[in-house]
Amino acid sequence: MRVTPQTVRAERDYVRERADTVVPLIDATRSALGEAFDAEFEPVSPAAYRAEVDAVFADGDRAVNVAALVALLRDLDVVDDYPGFVVDEQLGRLLASTIAGGQPLATLAEATFHYADTHVDGGGPPATGDTESGDSAPPDAEPAGVDDLDAALAAGFQTRLPGWEWTETASPFAVE
């Protein structure tokens, strides 16, 4: 894989275009977490999601890492998928935390990734066949990593987007 500024731009565009898939997943994830933690918030709009995507990709150091992780997950498909389960989970967690930013948001995004991941299903059957001969899933099927990509985008962006009251107020633990 070669990552260039053009690659980063293309991956940014891809992530922005996922709004129709990712925003409902963000809202569903936030709704369930809100119920569990007695929190209320407004739904996320596609415009707010896209603006936050732009903010993430405006930070060049973060952008190159996010772009590489997105590209890997977009293409990741493992024969019989189960052996690849660990790989796409690791990449998904890392992508969610990288999007969210530093601690403690990175850890929250990683934890949220696992919840969001249980609510998405890949767009096609996992690859089957012989990797040496190149046999895999039908060409129109999405690779198995795409559902982890969507879960990671939802987890990372829902963590950094406004709406959680505790992130919008000063911490009571700050020492002056």
* pLDDT tens-digit map of 76-91: 887 776 666 788 889 9
pLDDT band at 125 (very low <50, low <70, confident <90, very high): very low
- Structure token pair of residue 73: 């997950």
Its pTM stands at: 0.85
pLDDT band at 129 (very low <50, low <70, confident <90, very high): very low
Question: Is residue 91 packed enough to be buried (19+ CB in 10 Å), middle (13-18) or exposed (0-12)?
Answer: buried
Q: Which pLDDT does position 84 carry in this prediction?
A: 63
Whether 156 shows a pLDDT value over 70: the answer reads yes
SS3 state at 48: helix
Helix axes 19-37, 105-117, angle to 10 degrees: 100
Helix axes 145-160, 85-100, angle to 10 degrees: 20
Please give the Cα distance from 104 to 133 (Å, whole number): 45
Please give the Cα distance from 66 to 12 (Å, whole number): 9
Please give the Cα distance from 148 to 11 (Å, whole number): 16
Q: Which pLDDT does position 122 carry in this prediction?
A: 55
Question: Is residue 138 packed enough to be buried (19+ CB in 10 Å), middle (13-18) or exposed (0-12)?
Answer: exposed
Q: Which pLDDT does position 73 carry in this prediction?
A: 93
Please give the Cα distance from 153 to 18 (Å, whole number): 9
**65-74, 82-91, 149-158: the lowest-pLDDT one:** 82-91
Whether 136 shows a pLDDT value over 70: the answer reads no
